Structure 1
Amino acid sequence: MRDPRSGIDPLSGLLSTLDLTDTGARTAEDIFTGPSQWTPGGRVFGGQVYAQSIIAAIRTVPEDRAIHSSHGYFLRPGDSDQPITFSVDRIHDGRSFSTRRTQAYQNGLPILSMIASFQDHDPGLEHQVEMPEGITPPEELPSAAEVLGPVDHPVAQFWATSRAFDIRHVEQPIYLRADPHPVPRQALWMKTIGTLPDDDTLHRAALAYASDYSILEPVLRGHGLVWTHPGLRMASLDHAMWWHRPARVDEWLLYVQESPTATGGRGLSTGRIFTRDGVLVASVAQEGMVRVPEIDD
């Protein structure tokens, strides 16, 4: 399924969404604008505005400094029928680190507030946790398109054919059926459906984009819930990400996720992203609102 407004394919849509326009404004802040991707529910995908906020911040930092961490709060739902304005505050430029604050706006109101840090390439201590063993390779797993393609529903069709990423769950996906062995953890493989340009900043932003797709699923999986549970309401509250090492998002990456806790209508999930040969490239944490009608009542 192509974006009905533009007619372009999902990968081209991702690239055009991350290609922000510099307005040329140079007052207290740098101002950029970007499009919103169409979604069936009319809400901007959180990973989209998060990745765009990262691109906006990157545009104001010297090229030899790469983003290594970001922390953002989703303040209001975005409207996918409207563009987004991004203002970047150049908070600090030191000898090795730069710090930026990005605010994303629609209709004059902030929908996301993010702070990000950038660093020169510096030598230092090296270690990492090991990638889990015994993971089924992606070639032996069904894609979301194969799982959801036969389902005659606009959201299912959107997830099956309109996303720029091929996502393959190691465990049974919980789109429609509950996990028969509910535990608050899962793993999945992901990569873009085509090749991206050789631009490390683009790959880092695209990885942030994809990191938001499934990060709250362990909360649902641990309670035997599915995305289609009647009356289920979910929304990302905040998102944090740390980039440890460069990686290409057009090659298979393993996303290992776990939810350590859920309480008060909120669930916390953490994730680690590895290359296929076991290099830890990023870590993620997100807390989200998770409302289940029979519990809320």
Structure 2
Amino acid sequence: MPEDPIVNLLGVLALESSDARTTEDIFTGRSQPMPYGRVFGGQVLAQAVVAAGRTLPDERLPHSMHGYFLRPGDASRSITFSVDRIHDGRSFSTRRTQAFQDGVPIFSMIASFQDESPGMEHHAAMPTGIPDPESLPDPDSDGSHPFSDRIFSEQPLDVRHVHGALYTEAVEPSATQAVWMRTRGALPDEPGVHRAALAYMSDLTIQETILRAHGIAWMTPGLKVASLDHAMWWHRDGRADEWVLYMQESPSARGGRGLATGRIYSRAGELLVSVAQEVMVRVPAG
């Protein structure tokens, strides 16, 4: 019997401590089963954030990260995370996390953590007129959607495209899209867990604005897409097990690379996270 996808997700985020040193900490994380054997990028960046957070007090939470995907990971094998304690200040801490398989780095990240503190506050408003997620079809309700087959053996997220998915068929070109997301079950009441889960979510669907801008579907024969780097900023606490709206756009594509940006809002309209990712895209010649 397959493992519950939320239990699996929490197990992926529950890293084991392998070694401890004065200036470095080593952790090991298992990989989520994937149909084509490659580690999901959102998994490794979420685990890297968790690993860095394990070297800090619980109240000092991540507020920004910048990472590079160096090599594809093997989803059948565990990942080792090495954390360097670069700086600890009165309010901020900086950590560098490297993810390895077979001694070879597959992901590298620097993240900053901060204690909650008062200050000026504003945020860009959530767009209006977006349909509620309950009014949109659940593509994975019967477990047979090609997205599940392409991405996850066990899908932990409920993902609903506002303007139609582009899994199998091309859509009218547009460099923007809106996607509702949430985990398919409750998560613990720990802000750090939800920030890690939002990091996991942030790598899912953001590449699609680049494809959508050119009316290209995921299942286009010969299409190759790979995330190159990823940056995100957590602005406010939010729950990943409640609906969040992921507004995405692609401002540019050139030279086999495309840039995608996104904003994740709570259903109440608070801006929780900002995201940027550059992607390698290779489209077969027509």
TM-score by length of 1: 0.93
Q: Is the 1:72–1:112 contact (alpha carbons within 8 Å) kept by the matching residues of 2? A: yes
1:100 aligned residue: 95
Alignment of structure 1 residues 224-263 onto 2, 5 Å: 224-263=215-254
Selected match of 1:20 from 15, 29, 33: 15
Between the two proteins, the alignment pairs up a number of residues equal to 286
User: How many Å apart are 1:178 and its aligned residue?
Assistant: 1.3
SS of structure 2 residue aligned to 1:70: strand
- Measured in 2, the distance between the counterparts of 1:157 and 1:139 equals 23
2:28 aligned residue: 33
Q: Is the 2:175–2:249 contact (alpha carbons within 8 Å) kept by the matching residues of 1? A: yes
Selected match of 1:174 from 155, 161, 166: 166
Selected match of 1:279 from 264, 267, 270: 270
- Measured in 2, the distance between the counterparts of 1:287 and 1:143 equals 28
Which amino acid is 2:169 matched to? R
Q: Is the 1:144–1:159 contact (alpha carbons within 8 Å) kept by the matching residues of 2? A: no
Q: Is the 1:18–1:34 contact (alpha carbons within 8 Å) kept by the matching residues of 2? A: yes
- State the Cα deviation string for residues 189-245 of structure 1 (Å, max 9, x = none): 000001011010000001000110111100000100000000000000000010000
Selected match of 2:199 from 196, 200, 208: 208
1:109 aligned residue: 104
Which amino acid is 1:239 matched to? H
User: How many Å apart are 1:75 and its aligned residue?
Assistant: 0.4
2:55 aligned residue: 60
Q: Is the 2:42–2:204 contact (alpha carbons within 8 Å) kept by the matching residues of 1? A: yes
Gaps of 5+ in 2: none
Q: Is the 1:67–1:119 contact (alpha carbons within 8 Å) kept by the matching residues of 2? A: yes
- Measured in 1, the distance between the counterparts of 2:283 and 2:5 equals 32
Distance 1:27 1:120, change over 3 A: closer
2:5 aligned residue: 10
What is the root-mean-square deviation in Å for CA atoms of aligned residues? 1.5
Q: Is the 1:149–1:160 contact (alpha carbons within 8 Å) kept by the matching residues of 2? A: no
Q: Is the 1:203–1:249 contact (alpha carbons within 8 Å) kept by the matching residues of 2? A: yes
Distance 1:64 1:273, change over 3 A: same
- Measured in 2, the distance between the counterparts of 1:150 and 1:17 equals 24
TM-score by length of 2: 0.96
- Measured in 2, the distance between the counterparts of 1:34 and 1:159 equals 19
User: How many Å apart are 1:157 and its aligned residue?
Assistant: 3.4
- Measured in 2, the distance between the counterparts of 1:201 and 1:149 equals 30
Q: Is the 1:144–1:160 contact (alpha carbons within 8 Å) kept by the matching residues of 2? A: no
Q: Is the 1:220–1:226 contact (alpha carbons within 8 Å) kept by the matching residues of 2? A: yes
Moved runs in structure 1, 4+ residues, more than 4 A? 148-151, 158-161
Q: Is the 1:253–1:273 contact (alpha carbons within 8 Å) kept by the matching residues of 2? A: yes
Q: Is the 2:35–2:152 contact (alpha carbons within 8 Å) kept by the matching residues of 1? A: no
Match status 1:125 vs 2:120: yes
- Measured in 1, the distance between the counterparts of 2:208 and 2:136 equals 18
